[in-house]
Amino acid sequence: NAGVMQNPRHLVRRRGQEARLRCSPMKGHSHVYWYRQLPEEGLKFMVYLQKENIIDESGMPKERFSAEFPKEGPSILRIQQVVRGDSAAYFCASSNPGTGFWEQFFGPGTRLTVL
Amino acid sequence: AQSVTQPDIHITVSEGASLELRCNYSYGATPYLFWYVQSPGQGLQLLLKYFSGDTLVQGIKGFEAEFKRSQSSFNLRKPSVHWSDAAEYFCAVGLYNQGGKLIFGQGTELSVKP
């Protein structure tokens, strides 16, 4: 039973490029959450999605960031025109609707470096 | 302001010694409470959680935590630390009216001396 999978594990981008981060939730999980961890800080909530719906995006920066969780395939966090301040670890978590949204299982993260 | 505070950024304990990591929250109502552990370069693993009921909760790897409403605290404890416990520990809260949104403290890095 595979856990939450994220790829790539490491991503290097130059300023102005686009970054696409993928998250495949655990089998049977239809809720996905994205968190960002800046250096020396705790995780900060970004967005909560269910299949084809954004439930809570209160933590998403207003510009350049978007997220989706299509009916088929992984959830994608997209960062357009990256800047150095976007360098961080991005974690995805998933949960099972049967056990609710508080039982979140985390992936290993994608570490984004912006040059 | 609403917040989750872990007062200790870094703690060092000797192997076999007891451990207590502090967590305080500042919210009007009692939130749901969690402790996670993060090993270097890894994701987070849930150690234990508190929703209601018995204020002393048992978790994995020999950890326990006690919820104290009067102190707005949820401190993590372990009676005897092992070298493999060296990691970063995060306290987190969830608010019943913000389903799915975990709010994390800044983390406490634990080092274990042989």
What whole-number distance in Å separates Cα of residue B99 and Cα of residue A79?
A: 25
Helix (H, G, I), strand (E, B) or coil at B67: strand
The torsion defined by the Cα of B36, A32, A11 and B9, in degrees rounded to 10, comes to -20
What whole-number distance in Å separates Cα of residue A35 and Cα of residue B38?
A: 14
pLDDT in the model for residue B104: 93
What whole-number distance in Å separates Cα of residue B28 and Cα of residue B75?
A: 19
What whole-number distance in Å separates Cα of residue A93 and Cα of residue B59?
A: 20
Residue in A closest to B44 by C-alpha? A106
Residue reference for tokens 């960031």: A65
Which pLDDT tens digit goes with each residue over A41-79?
A: 889 999 999 999 999 999 999 999 999 999 999 999 999
Q: Quick check: A106 and B36 CB within 8 A?
A: yes
pLDDT in the model for residue B90: 95
Q: Which residues of B touch A39 (CB under 8 A)?
A: none
Both tokens assigned to A12: 């290097």
On the CB side of A74, how many CA atoms lie within 13 Å of its CA?
18
A113 touches chain B (CB under 8 A): no
* A99 pLDDT more than 80: no
Residue reference for tokens 């207590």: B20
Under DSSP, the state recorded for B109 is E
pLDDT in the model for residue B1: 63
What whole-number distance in Å separates Cα of residue B78 and Cα of residue B108?
A: 15
B105 touches chain A (CB under 8 A): yes
What whole-number distance in Å separates Cα of residue B79 and Cα of residue B42?
A: 25
Residues of chain B with pLDDT under 50: none
Average pLDDT over residues A33-37: 95
For B92-101, give one letter per residue: b (16+ CB within 10 A) or e: bbbbeebebb
